[in-house]
Structure 1
Amino acid sequence: MLTSLEAPDPLPARMVNEFVYCPRLFWLEHVEREFEESYDTVDGERVHRRVDQPRGTIPDDIAQMRSEASSVELASEHLGVVAKIDLVRADGGQAVPIDFKRGRAPAIPGGAYDPERVQVCIQALLLRENGYRCDLARIYYAASKTYVDIPIDEALVTQTLNAISGARVAAVAGTPPAPLIDSPKCARCSLNSICLPDETNALRRRNGETRVRAFAAPSDDRIPMYVMEPGARVGLSGERLEVRTDAGVQADARLDDITHLSLFGNVQVSSQAARALLSRDEPIFYLSYGGWLSGYARSINDHSLDLRVEQHLLARDKERSLAIAREIVFGKVKNQRTMMRRALGAKAKPALRAMAFLMHRVQHAVSADELLGFEGAAAQRYFEAFGEMLSIGTGFEVTGRNRRPPTDPVNAMLSFGYSMLAKEAVAAALAVGFEPGLGFYHRPRPGRPSLALDLMEEFRPLVVDSTVLTLVNSREIRPNHFDRRGRAIVLTTDGRRAFIAALERRLRASISHPIFGYQVTYRRALHVQARLLARAIQGDLPQYPPFTTR
């Protein structure tokens, strides 16, 4: 985070506009460098298209100006701001800045809202700093094709200078400003799913209500692309990714429909396709044929640097790390117990009592080693009962968890599924801005995405274990979907395809969020948990809330 009230770079006038509109939006966009496109932002680019190209100049004597100048960039070290003025025109011996807006002129006193008034006032002050008389600014509203005059009076100048000062303080505060409470602004905000205003207020008990507005549709049409065919090549054709083999095009998908690309084994991706994905901030994951994550490529478009600073500081603090780790393990054990209760009911009473006792012990663990012991004891109880949850025995017998290597089909599916879930958790961590290798429960180890392993713990039973149970009990997976390699049992290519298809169905299944009540997919719930973990680390939430179901 910045350590001085003197910002190293001038504040853009547009960011001061955001600060007046919503200090938290300013912090997310200016400090964390978060941005998401929406209809409003895309339409705004269309409205500005005519004035985004520099054209014309402003003469020293404004009276000699015969036309107009567009996309005029001015800055002031004294004010500490910079602005790109859409249009500058001469009017009655003074320079008049004109700012283009996509919407309709509001029917309110003054003709414009405060954020827009402050933005054009900054433009006027910059023109004054450069020696021009400027007592008037204008806003052009494209939807109503209306110009609104904004007088640059002392009251507006004072309001603007206070806004600049407030934005500077917010930029170096180190923690995000509090979200707005039940504001209609949030519903149309493109950063709603990043900001999580209602969720944060509910967890901080600031709004006094239990209703939390859904931040987006529960389903997400954008999904990962998996390429497993040995020797396949992923290339770019226009705005589509194509998967080719020697037999020709085997599959294709629109770039805008893909969240990330997963390549298994000896699959190649062209430089053009890689650049197209990375330019959209979509990562590329490289996995072995068996599903082990070997590495990933990500965009250089870094954001959330302050978050990573706080992540490193917290990871060095044993007490604060343990507090988060306790919540993570509690969520996992509770979800394991829920799976047992749903599948076995009264038959599992002794195991359920033991799991409830371990949940209590987890919440009061005094060290990371003790917490690890409680988690291990819960896992032993859970996996001893896992075989009883399977309705089909022949070929799918299991007496507990084994790995490295898995020696039966059920454990082979569990291992493969956890690898796929770890990849999803890495994608969520990257989207939020975390360092995936620096965890709080799983301690850092070279080559291990420790934070991603932390994030996925609560979702192991609900996503992967549930997928395994569904595949076996519905007979979608069969013994011929597995091979034996030495002591190890592994999924065949067809088996991996069947498993991934079932896992994707589970990740895209819509559920009622256990804390907030709205409909959300498991994949989006994982991303929400990553956001909530970030908010807890940055002091925006008092503690991390685990994801648990009833």
Structure 2
Amino acid sequence: MKKTYYLFNPGRMSRKNNTLKFTPVDENGTEGQPKYIPVEGVSELFCFGALDANSALYNFLGKMGITVHFFDYYEHYTGSFQPKEYLLAGKMQIEQTKHYLSKSKRQVIAQKLVEGAAFNIIKNLKYYQSRGKEVQPYIDTISGFSGAIPETKAIDELMGIEGNIRQIYYDAFDVILNDFAMNGRSKQPPKNEVNALVSFGNMMCYTLCLGQIYHTQMNPTISFLHEPGYRRYSLALDLAEIFKPILVDRVIFRVLNKKEIQARDFDVQMNGVVLKDAARKIFVRAFEERLNETIKHRSLKRSVTYKHLVKLECYKLTKHLLNMEEYKPFKTWW
């Protein structure tokens, strides 16, 4: 089974037969012990440190269908190397564009995305309510906003409701978390530890969705809730809205409330807060554990991982765009 590999240290990568050779290099240029990764077991690479590689390696990665995601020092996603888009199809491109250009068709999809996100947010809050957290007022307010989603007539109006839901939800973080406070959402840069984790986790979810979109016929630059823009894969932003509550936020609550990540694991600077290397590794490990958890799928009648649920979501949207089946967003049922 192919795995995702995370490269936290700067280093040099090369090909040795059918194996990837990664040699870590410290800030003084001293090389560490090389690590060898069988290429057949790699699905994608996440590079958080500088990666030194030549075109021959990227040609090899492209032939093997391996995606490489890059991030800067502040944990911002900066871009991806992706193999040739082997599944892109003209018919899908046309239908996806038609749904974007049609105000009514786009609105339907966008409403479904926000509906799914709001449902999973409320489900999160109810989970912590059952564990003694006083979050009923937040549930009531978000439920009120959710009821207005089907009545929206424009994307801007829908985005306003989505923004209000997120604001109320993030206020509830201060109740759910034991020793940390969010104090409202801040980004670019995050102003405190919780915001730093939210930014990092959201970025992980975004790249996860991007990777799953790649395995469909959809174009990741044509979106419905978020406005397509230059140099960004906005369809991944759309799908990430549904999965951030159950994949990112639940992991944040876990690592902070169980003290797996503590205040000392953050680098507090003049212009913001970032995770130290050790904290990034802890969060990524917890995130991977979450992705590999399995649930019994009600329709498929078999156990699937959370990661596979994201791929299934892409397939559902594909069927909607091809007028095969109405899109229904993923909603937690347990």
Please, what TM-score do these two structures have when normalized by structure 1? 0.57
Does 2:248 align with 1:492?
A: no
- Among candidates 215, 220, 235, match of residue 14 of structure 2: 235
Distance in structure 2 (CA, Å) of the matches to 1:357 and 1:499? 33
Name the CA shift for 1:460/1:362 in 2 (closer, same or farther; >3 Å).
same
Does 2:103 align with 1:324?
A: no
Distance in structure 1 (CA, Å) of the matches to 2:230 and 2:118? 27
CA deviations 1:493-533 (Å, max 9, x no partner) are 22211111111111111123355443111111101101111
Question: Aligned runs of 1:374-523 on 2, under 5 Å?
Answer: 374-391=161-178, 393=179, 396-513=180-297, 516-523=300-307
Q: Aligned AA for 1:373?
A: G
Q: Does the 8 Å contact 1:281/1:301 carry over to 2?
A: no
CA offset at residue 304 of structure 1? 3.0
Name the CA shift for 1:326/1:301 in 2 (closer, same or farther; >3 Å).
closer
Q: RMSD value over aligned CA atoms?
A: 1.7
Distance in structure 2 (CA, Å) of the matches to 1:360 and 1:517? 31
Residue range with higher mean Cα deviation, 344-353 or 402-411: 344-353
Q: Does the 8 Å contact 2:173/2:181 carry over to 1?
A: no
| Structure 1 unaligned spans of 5+ | 1-220
Residue range with higher mean Cα deviation, 282-291 or 245-254: 245-254
Question: Aligned runs of 1:66-145 on 2, under 5 Å?
Answer: none
Question: Aligned runs of 1:39-58 on 2, under 5 Å?
Answer: none
The structure richer in helix per residue is 2
Q: Which residue of 1 aligns with 2:156?
A: 369
Structure with greater contact order relative to length (CA < 8 Å, sep ≥ 6): 2
Does 2:118 align with 1:340?
A: no
* 3-state SS, counterpart of residue 311 of structure 1: helix
CA offset at residue 460 of structure 1? 0.4
Q: Does the 8 Å contact 1:330/1:362 carry over to 2?
A: yes
Does 2:39 align with 1:260?
A: no
Q: Aligned AA for 2:12?
A: R
Residue range with higher mean Cα deviation, 467-476 or 478-487: 478-487
Residue range with higher mean Cα deviation, 287-296 or 470-479: 287-296
* 3-state SS, counterpart of residue 458 of structure 1: helix
Q: Which residue of 1 aligns with 2:5?
A: 225
Distance in structure 1 (CA, Å) of the matches to 2:97 and 2:189? 33
Q: Aligned AA for 2:204?
A: M
Which structure has the larger Rg? Answer: 1
Q: Aligned AA for 2:255?
A: L
Distance in structure 2 (CA, Å) of the matches to 1:530 and 1:317? 20
Q: Which residue of 2 aligns with 1:531?
A: 315
Q: Which residue of 1 aligns with 2:27?
A: none
Please, what TM-score do these two structures have when normalized by structure 2? 0.92
Quote the sequence identity (%): 26
CA deviations 1:132-179 (Å, max 9, x no partner) are xxxxxxxxxxxxxxxxxxxxxxxxxxxxxxxxxxxxxxxxxxxxxxxx
* 3-state SS, counterpart of residue 432 of structure 1: coil
Distance in structure 1 (CA, Å) of the matches to 2:108 and 2:288? 32
| Structure 2 unaligned spans of 5+ | 25-29
Q: Does the 8 Å contact 1:477/1:498 carry over to 2?
A: yes
* 3-state SS, counterpart of residue 285 of structure 1: strand
